[in-house]
Amino acid sequence: MELRPPPKQQHHRRRGSEEEEEVTGMEHGPFSLRAGAGGFWRHDDEGRGGRRGEIKEVDFFLASRDAASWRHDDGFRGTHGGGGGRDDVNIGLDLLTTTTGAVAGGAAAVAGEEDTAKNHRKEATATATATAVDAELRRVVEENRRLRGMLEELTRSYSALYHQFLQVTQQNHHPHRHPDLIMNNNGSSLTQTHRTAAALNPTTTATTQQFLEPRASSTAQLLAGSDAAAASDKEAGGDASPSSLSNAGGNKRRAAQDETAPARENSEQAAAELPCRKPRVSVRARSEAPMISDGCQWRKYGQKMAKGNPCPRAYYRCTMAIGCPVRKQVQRCADDKTVLITTYEGNHNHQLPPAATTMANTTSAAAAMLLSGPAASRDGGLLGHHPAAIFHQSFPYASTMATLSASAPFPTITLDLTQTPAGGAGSAAGLLHALHRPPAIHPAAAAPAMPFALAPQLAMYLPQRAAPGMLPAATGLGTRQPSVMETVTAALAADPNFTTALVAAISSAVAGGAHQALSTTPRGSAGALAGDDSGDGNAAASASAEPTADAPATSGSPPRLATQSCTTST
DNA sequence: CGACTTTGACCTGCGC
DNA sequence: GCGCAGGTCAAAGTCG
């Protein structure tokens, strides 16, 4: 019998003062949980008469309307913020201007010496203020410079480790290389293999994953060999055997998957369908809320106590479409309970709402980045449009945030967004700087024949360019889609926490190609996804990047979308 | 009544 | 083969 925390159901169900108190406490957490900004959960609370006062989710992509009150609070942001179309100005300059105006007015109105002295004092005060602001600005810039240096060092270390990893992986898997892999390899390096293959055919992402999955290659070899049939039966859950029909759990799931692909034409397809081959993307974020809002609708189907962690792990299944295979696990970090670890597995078989798209793009792009390697972005040619390349071009700073674990049962890419540098604003500014270079992405987006089409998430940012097939609901809203910069700065304004800003920044600008590349499945749903790329764009356009009540994520949202809870005991 | 959460039971994979 | 841990199912309970 497994360990379980004391029953929390009653506590969860009966809204009491302590729950509200918890909410109150969360408002002071690193994530802004105020309802006024139109968070994803807010739609549910207000629109569906949900449980008031209950905050079970923190919106990762809270594009706060509070951005209207957005202000530069440091000089560096001001340096890069102007490109977002904002007219923000340096506070210090404002103060000076105001004071100067007061001086002029006073001089005109009063000629007395006392007033003159007073004006001199005011002027002196204004000068001192300007000096202080200037000094602060210099300090921030200097701190930013220092952090950049640290970041570059980290990046170098990461690259070195990554290449070591590639070498080790190549040594481990070369004897068991999949036939298709060999065909694609052409004697070139592992990295190059993936680069070329991925650029030519997104489906080869699955092939690349074989390098990352120790069991995968051996399985593929088994399936490709003379024992393919037997191995296939075994690996597929033995759905042909009578005994397995009565089995619950994994066999049923595999049987269900086999229903969608009754006849496997080759070993690659069979191997790729195995659940164990799905890579996972784990996002670590600091949050007091029990679950981050990623835009999708999730239904909790289980909760377990994981060994070595006092906090239970919750299992969620995507309910935005029937049969969507995507699942996620939510668990608090054992070491730091403020860190929420959300692990995604599988690929959506439906269009995603914008918020979900951003998260999917973020994780997928990070995964693509890691799968293809940091060197990929520096390549020209085919790889110039590889999602990883885009990710790198857009986020040269991001490589240090993501790690890949090949030791886990699943190839798991971890996006660690919990590490807030001391000069977070400086690093954020680096991202802002990166985001300020949209041409790195737009050309690829504009080319329909690219390995992946226009990133839907990005499409809505393109000026003068309506996403093809934009839903009337979107166009009818008449709301201006925020620019990348605005999204980032709005997030910064909504929540000074760096991780939040980071997520918003990455999510807003990562091209959808990465999503497509990684979401491509060998079953053909990939084709649907690829074909629906513009559909994603529709989805992205159908609702504003700001999840507001005006633009619900989906028309068919279950009533309790916002009240999904993860009862993580602490 | 439907949608959702909770939770005990069950299944599978893996290590010993 | 056994035990453990992870993952999932499905009945029961809850809520609007």
Q: Give per-residue pLDDT as tens, A214-245.
A: 333 333 333 333 333 333 333 333 333 333 33
pLDDT at A318 over 70: yes
Q: Which residues, in sequence order, are bridge partners of residue A314? A: A303, A330
What is the percent of chain A with per-residue pLDDT over 70, rounded to a whole number? 21
Q: Tell whether the torsion through CA atoms of A498, A502, A505 and A507 is positive or negative.
A: negative
pLDDT at A361 over 50: yes
Burial status of residue A286 (CB atoms within 10 A of its CB: 0-12, 13-18, 19 or more): buried
Distance between the alpha carbon (CA) of A49 and the C1' atom of C16, Å: 8
* Contact between the CB of A276 and strand C at under 7 Å: no
List the Cα angle A379/A382/A387 in 5-degree steps: 80
Region A443-469: mean pLDDT is 29
pLDDT attached to residue A297: 83
Q: In A91-178, which residue ranges form alpha helices assigned H by DSSP? A: 91-109, 113-173
* Contact between the CB of A297 and strand B at under 7 Å: yes
Whether residue A536 contacts residue A273, with contact meaning beta carbons closer than 8 Å, is answered with: no
Residue whose structure tokens are 């008031």: A52
User: Which nucleotide across the nucleic acid strands is nearest to A558, CA versus C1'?
Assistant: B3
Whole-angstrom distance, CA of residue A296 vs CA of residue A458? 19
* Contact between the CB of A280 and strand C at under 7 Å: no
Tens digit of each residue's pLDDT (9 = 90 or more) over A471-504: 333 333 333 333 333 343 343 333 434 344 444 4
Contacts 24+ apart (CB under 8 A), A27-31: A29/A287, A29/A288, A29/A289, A29/A338, A30/A286, A30/A287, A30/A288, A30/A338, A30/A495, A30/A497, A30/A499, A30/A500, A31/A58, A31/A286, A31/A287, A31/A288, A31/A289, A31/A495, A31/A497, A31/A500
Give residues 39-78 of chain A lying near strand C (Cβ < 7 A): 48-51
Whole-angstrom distance, CA of residue A388 vs CA of residue A510? 10
Region A198-212: mean pLDDT is 36
Tens digit of each residue's pLDDT (9 = 90 or more) over A321-334: 877 888 888 888 87
A327: three-class secondary structure by DSSP: strand
pLDDT attached to residue A286: 80
pLDDT band at A366 (very low <50, low <70, confident <90, very high): low
Tens digit of each residue's pLDDT (9 = 90 or more) over A44-70: 333 333 333 344 455 544 444 343 333
pLDDT band at A130 (very low <50, low <70, confident <90, very high): confident
Smallest Cα–Cα separation from A345: which of A373, A331, A324?
A324
pLDDT band at A290 (very low <50, low <70, confident <90, very high): confident
Whole-angstrom distance, CA of residue A490 vs CA of residue A72? 11
HSE, side-chain direction, 13 A CA sphere, residue A23 = 17
pTM recorded for the entire structure: 0.41
* Contact between the CB of A16 and strand C at under 7 Å: no
A366: three-class secondary structure by DSSP: helix
* Contact between the CB of A242 and strand B at under 7 Å: no
- Report the run of H or E that residue A535 belongs to, with start and end: helix A533-542
pLDDT band at A178 (very low <50, low <70, confident <90, very high): very low
Pairing state between β A412-416 and A298-305: unpaired
| Domains contained in chain A, CATH given | 280-371+390-419 (2.20.25.80)
Average pLDDT of chain A, as a whole number: 48
Region A142-162: mean pLDDT is 74
